[in-house]
Structure formats: structure tokens, C-alpha cells
Structure 1
Amino acid sequence: MLSKKKGSKKMGTKVIMREMAVVSKMFCSSSEVVLRVRTRPHVVGGGGFVVTDLHTHEVVFKVDGVVGKKDHITLTDAYQTPLLLIRRKGGIVEALSLDKQWRGYTSNYVGSQKLVFTLKDPKPGITNRPVRVSIEQNNNNFYCRNLQIRGYFPDRDCNIVDSSGNVIAQVEVIKEMKQMMEKKDVYQVVVKPGIDQALVVGIIAVLDYIQKGC
């Protein structure tokens, strides 16, 4: 469970979690969730990974590239229901920025897209600037709108932290695979209570795409 400093309020012996339902409230759990990620070999417009629940072994999310569209990623649930379309923002916006920008969108039932987060990846040569994520939704229930990536994702050793430095999700090597070459292709993500798992996986999808140099 999160402590008071990590976005919870303690009343007597009862702890009330603050939710951050960016994609959907249905992906926010009242308890900590451990997800296992298995990546697929990168191919043009493909690759991605499959995410399963560590305890039930059921597929929770799937991440894929978009065939024929470079720098486009899709996140779906186990039933292939679209959850996020993530694409890189190029053109003059990126040219004038110190960062490469990725934007995640949800779609409503008529296909209208809504921007929900922006990830900014510092351009090569820019030092001392972490990868940053901004939550774009105007929801007063969110206790935090700005996130950072701390650590080194290619080694599967990094955290997603809130603006106070509290860890909301942790990417880590699976202990029993530390001595195996497969450790970077199969790893786990620990998501804290109340945090949108779809958002976390969407962020990791961008980090994975960047790492592969797609």
C-alpha cells in the first residue's frame, strides 16, 4: 500500500487511496498490482509486447506498432479493444523543442480522439533532463499531473515517480531471470494502488519503442 506521502490519506486504521484514472477507472486497483511484460522481436510496423497479470497469468494488455505508420503505437486490452493511440509529434513543434514529444490519445465511441498524456524525451546531447510525462486531462481528482522517469529503462531498472518523488510504478528485472539473457525481454512492472495501469503501460510502450531505436 502507498503511504500517506505517496498519495493516500490515513483516517484511523483505514487508508483511502487517491486514484489517478487517466485512461479508465477500471484499470485502477485498490491494491498493488504486478504485471509481467514479454516483448516481441521488432519488425517494421510491429513488435511491441504482451502484458499479463503475474498472479492470474491472464493477458491484460497488448502493445503493437501500427503497420505502415512509423512512430505510431497502439495499446489494447486483452480483447483487442483500443485503449490508447500513441504517436510522436514531429514537425515544427519538435524542431523548436529540446525534447522529442510523444502524445497518447484515447478515443470515444464515435472515434473522436482526446489527448491524455504527453511524454517528452530529451534529444541526444541534452543532459541532466529526465524523461517527463504530463497528464493533459483536466480532472481535479488527480493528485499529480507531472511524472518523471528515474533510472535506466534499457536495463529494466527504473521508476515512474510523481512530482514529489514518490514511486507510482517500478520496472524491474525478474529475480529468477537475473542471470539469463532473456531478462530484458521478460520483466515486471509493479504498479502502486490507485494508479492507472493502462497509463503506466502506455508510458512503458514509448520507452520500449525509443530503446529499440524504431
Structure 2
Amino acid sequence: MASKQSLIPIVSKAFCSLSEVVLVVRRRPHVVNGGGFVVTDCTQIPIFSVDGCGILGKKEELLLRDANGNPLLLIRRKGGIVEAVSITRKWKGYKTDFLGPQKLVFTLKEPITMCLLNKNSIRICIESKELSNYGDFEIIGDFCDKDCSIVNSRGDPIAQIGVKKEMEQVMKSKDLYYVSIKPGIDHAFVIGVIAVLDYIYDGSTRC
């Protein structure tokens, strides 16, 4: 069990739990407003939702909402000439309630070349100075097969994405999978990262 001192509130401490939590991700069909996905707890109570580009009307833009529909994270891919000559693309997650200034909370570096992408060279940088001592995070494994982890700078998993064995027969399409999040880790941050991975790998958030 995590102590209050070990909480890592990248988006908000309101989304940090003192115990391990298992959430369920259910992808929306592309035909429903352009896609996205819904996140529930194990009793099917909605916790988060992610709107894809079909709903927002913009490519390479995602919006994470809480259970009440309030915006938590606006996630965009940064483009431009500099990126065109780089070996990575950068996704930036901004904490916002649309009433005040946006605050950059994390940057996810997506390799442009697929050979690097297949080697799981996906790093996540936390932009908060208060949390800089935790270092960067990295994606390990295969998100396409829903078998991957988000690990910290020491290589310890902070979240595991997978399909439960007893559900494999009904989840071969990978439209339903679980996310196990370690104590103290910000759930909204983890789901924001998953939203980017879903888009990168041509998931339900992408038009």
C-alpha cells in the first residue's frame, strides 16, 4: 500500500489510489461519433472517457474526460519543420479545464520510423518540476497485442495493460482489455498515455 508521500499526482492526486486498481477499457466502435473509448472500474462504473479525432474534429488530438464529462487532459501531437527532420514525434498532454491556462504535464516521444517503434522506443517525460525526481517512464511490450507495461526509470512496472485469460475468447478483437495500476500512480496519467498508444497503433481514437 502506498503512503501519501509516495503518491505521484501527475494530473491530480484525486486520481491516485493507496492500493492497486484494475480498470477496464472498452473501445467505442468507429461508427459512433468517430471513436474513442470508455474506462470503467470492475463493476462497470464509468471512470474516464477519451474522445478521438472523429468527435473533436481534429486529427492528432485527443481529450480525456472524467466520469462527469469534465475535461482533464488535452493531448496533441506537436508538428512542424523541426519534427519533420527528427527521428521522433512528440505528443504533449496538457492539464486543462478550459477555464484557465493550459499546463503541460507530460511529453510522449513516438519514433517516426516503424523499426524503432517496433523496438518499443517510446519514452514519456514528466514536465512537472515538482515530480522531476521520479525521472522518465517507458513503454515496454506490445500494445497491439495488449501485452505491455509502463515502467519507471528503475524499470519497475507502474501499470500493466493486458487481456485476462478468462476473457480471451470474448476479447480476441482486443476491444476490451484491462489496466492494472500500481498504488500511488495517477490513473488519469496512465489513461492519457494509453490514449496516445491507441492513436499511434491505429485504434478507435483515430479517424
Same fold (TM over 0.5): yes
User: What is aligned with 1:100?
Assistant: 89
| Aligned-partner Cα distance in 2 for 1:17–1:193 | 12
Deviations 1:66-114 (A, max 9, x none): 4321111000001000000001101123113211110000125633111
Cα distance, 1:126 vs. partner?
A: 4.3
Aligned-residue identity in percent: 54
User: What is aligned with 1:82?
Assistant: 71
Name the aligned partner's letter for residue 48 of structure 2: F
Unaligned runs of 5+ in 1: 2-7, 9-14
- After superposing on structure 2, the runs of 4+ consecutive aligned residues of structure 1 that deviate more than 6 Å are none
Cα distance, 1:195 vs. partner?
A: 0.2
**Given that residues 17 and 30 in structure 1 are in contact (C-alpha distance below 8 angstroms), is that contact kept between their aligned partners in structure 2?**
no
Q: Is 1:207 the equivalent of 2:197? A: yes
Change (3 A) 1:102 1:94: same
Q: Could you state the TM-score of these two structures normalised by the residue count of structure 1?
A: 0.86
Instruction: With a CA cutoff of 8 Å and minimum separation of 6, indicate the structure with the bigger relative contact order.
Output: 2
**Given that residues 17 and 193 in structure 1 are in contact (C-alpha distance below 8 angstroms), is that contact kept between their aligned partners in structure 2?**
no
For 2:188, what is the secondary structure of its paired residue? helix
| Count of residue correspondences | 200
**Given that residues 85 and 105 in structure 1 are in contact (C-alpha distance below 8 angstroms), is that contact kept between their aligned partners in structure 2?**
yes
Change (3 A) 1:50 1:125: closer
When Rg is computed on C-alpha atoms for both structures, the one with the higher figure is: 1
| Aligned-partner Cα distance in 2 for 1:75–1:115 | 14
For 1:139, what is the secondary structure of its paired residue? helix
| Aligned-partner Cα distance in 2 for 1:188–1:58 | 14
Name the aligned partner's letter for residue 118 of structure 1: T
Please tell me the root mean square deviation across aligned C-alpha atoms, in Å: 2.1
Q: Is 1:18 the equivalent of 2:18? A: no
| Aligned-partner Cα distance in 1 for 2:171–2:188 | 27
Q: Could you state the TM-score of these two structures normalised by the residue count of structure 2?
A: 0.88
Cα distance, 1:177 vs. partner?
A: 1.8
Cα distance, 1:122 vs. partner?
A: 1.0
Unaligned runs of 5+ in 2: none
Change (3 A) 1:148 1:47: same
Deviations 1:118-171 (A, max 9, x none): 00111124434611100001115x651300000000100000000000000000
